[in-house]
């Protein structure tokens, strides 16, 4: 027998049975019985805004899968561009499909010179790279006006390729602008992570990329590639529901990611570890958190009520990176903090476990990325996820997003002339 719930309007005695489908109920059925009465759900914590076949997230059991494939397998066995293909197309590519996909992305990495120079000339020398990246993505729509033909699947795919290809170029360019360094052109002989690292860090001679750092970059991009209906993905879908082009939709997503509540958590972890200062001070810090005098950054998640599977993968990758770069001095404090917190019922009972941000900042910093680039790195990895959701939404012919509100303002009142106020 199918599961269902019964809703009774106590004002009229009318009842309605609504089936439970895939863990949710259809709000359209609710509206039939109770028109004009809204679910009040600030933050959309219990609201499903979409049907999606892209990413499965089981927060209770710490499970994350892209198109059915466990994140643990993809992180260790796949590449970022292969995962990008999977997210966009729904299936893992054949070798021929992957070769064609990589070729297309590799040969769309360059930026129009007028676009690059004019974008950078418009900004102060120390402009935050994430602000520059966000505006650059939006600006691309003016260079590719055909992108507005969103009903043509071939046009959509061309823009998807362009965005995935050009994000590392724009990101590295933003960094070098802030540092006062000359721009490094993409190198089509390099793979995706290597090309990005070379554009970031080359000074004079080509940047020597250690295999362990290359692998870590690949893993970090894969782990950030999608995460269901988070704040930035929802922003992309909401803007895209108005039939905006993909550049505008991804720029909206990047702007949401720029907010410190979404994309700035790994920086907050580093600041917290600095504030703690030493291993001996970890217990006192834990007690201050329990007393409400501080926050344990990098722990807990809006959806995960278990160990974030991405955190476990990043933690393992960190050791490989530190073998090359030397151990980040904050690592011992981080490990001790995790050990103490996970043995304390205060945090365990509240299901506060390390999340993806707890160790990622340590790796980024050890690889040479300045803190200002952390959110930019997140954006590069998340781009295929944003685009997959944007494309899926259009294929579903979704309605324009239009939530309602509870009005809490003044009752009707008459206008008062200014000299009588």
301 is catalytic: yes
In angstroms, the CA 155 to CA 192 distance is 23
Which of the 8 DSSP states describes residue 354?
B
Task: Please spell the DSSP secondary structure of 74-139, one letter per residue.
Answer: HHHH--HHHHHHHHHHSSPPPHHHHHHHHHHHHTT----HHHHHHHHHTS-TT--HHHHHHHHHHH
- Residue 262 annotated in active site: yes
The CA radius of gyration of the chain, in Å to the nearest whole number, is 24
Residue 260 three-state SS: coil
Cβ of 116: how many Cβ atoms within 10 Å? 17
In whole angstroms, give the CA distance from residue 342 to residue 42.
30
Query: Of 177, 301, 308, 389, which one is the catalytic site residue?
Result: 301
Is there a catalytic annotation at residue 124?
no
Which of 120, 308, 357, 389 is catalytic? The answer is 357
CA neighbor of 355 nearest in space, from 300, 421, 305 = 300
Coil, strand or helix at 16: strand
Q: Which of 89, 108, 128, 262 is catalytic?
A: 262
Q: Cβ(250)–Cβ(279) under 8 Å?
A: no
Phi then psi for 294, rounded to 5 degrees? -165, 175
Q: Cα 258 from chain centroid?
A: 10
Catalytic positions, written as ranges: 262, 301, 357
């Amino acid at each position: 027998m199918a599961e269902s719930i019964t809703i009774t309007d106590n004002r009229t005695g009318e009842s309605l049975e609504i089936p439970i489908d895939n863990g949710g109920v259809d709000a359209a059925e609710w509206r039939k019985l109770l028109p004009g009465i809204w679910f009040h759900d600030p933050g959309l914590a219990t609201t499903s805004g979409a049907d999606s076949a892209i990413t499965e997230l089981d927060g209770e059991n710490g499970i994350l899968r892209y198109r059915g494939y466990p994140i643990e397998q993809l992180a260790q066995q796949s590449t970022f561009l292969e995962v990008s293909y999977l997210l966009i197309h729904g299936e893992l590519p054949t070798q021929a499909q992957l070769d064609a996909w990589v070729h297309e992305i590799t040969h769309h990495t360059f930026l129009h010179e007028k676009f690059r120079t004019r974008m950078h000339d418009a900004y102060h020398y120390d402009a935050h790279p994430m602000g520059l990246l966000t505006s650059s993505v939006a600006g691309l729509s003016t260079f590719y006006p055909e992108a507005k033909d969103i009903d043509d699947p071939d046009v959509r795919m061309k823009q998807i390729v362009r965005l995935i290809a050009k994000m590392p170029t724009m990101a590295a360019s933003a960094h070098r602008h802030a540092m006062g360094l000359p721009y490094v052109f993409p190198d089509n002989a390099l793979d995706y992570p290597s090309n990005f690292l070379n554009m970031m860090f080359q000074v004079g001679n080509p940047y020597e990329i250690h295999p362990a750092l290359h692998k870590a970059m690949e893993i970090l991009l894969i782990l950030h590639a999608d995460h269901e209906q988070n704040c930035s993905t929802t922003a992309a879908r909401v803007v895209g529901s108005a039939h905006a082009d993909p550049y505008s939709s991804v720029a909206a997503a990047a702007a949401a990611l720029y907010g410190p509540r979404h994309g700035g958590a790994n920086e907050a972890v580093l600041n917290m570890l600095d504030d703690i200062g030493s291993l001996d001070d970890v217990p006192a810090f834990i007690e201050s958190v329990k007393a409400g005098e501080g926050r344990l950054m990098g722990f807990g998640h809006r959806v995960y009520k278990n160990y974030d599977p991405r955190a476990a993968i990043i933690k393992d990758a960190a050791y490989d990176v530190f073998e090359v770069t030397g151990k980040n001095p904050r690592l011992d404090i981080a490990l001790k903090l995790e050990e103490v917190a996970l043995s304390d019922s205060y945090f365990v009972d509240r299901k506060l476990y390390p999340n993806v941000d707890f160790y990622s900042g340590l790796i980024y910093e050890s690889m040479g990325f300045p803190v200002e680039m952390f959110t930019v790195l997140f954006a590069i990895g998340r781009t295929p996820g944003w685009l997959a959701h944007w494309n899926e939404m259009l294929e579903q012919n979704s309605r324009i997003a239009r939530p309602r509100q509870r009005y809490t303002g003044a009752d009707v009142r008459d206008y008062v002339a200014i000299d009588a106020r």
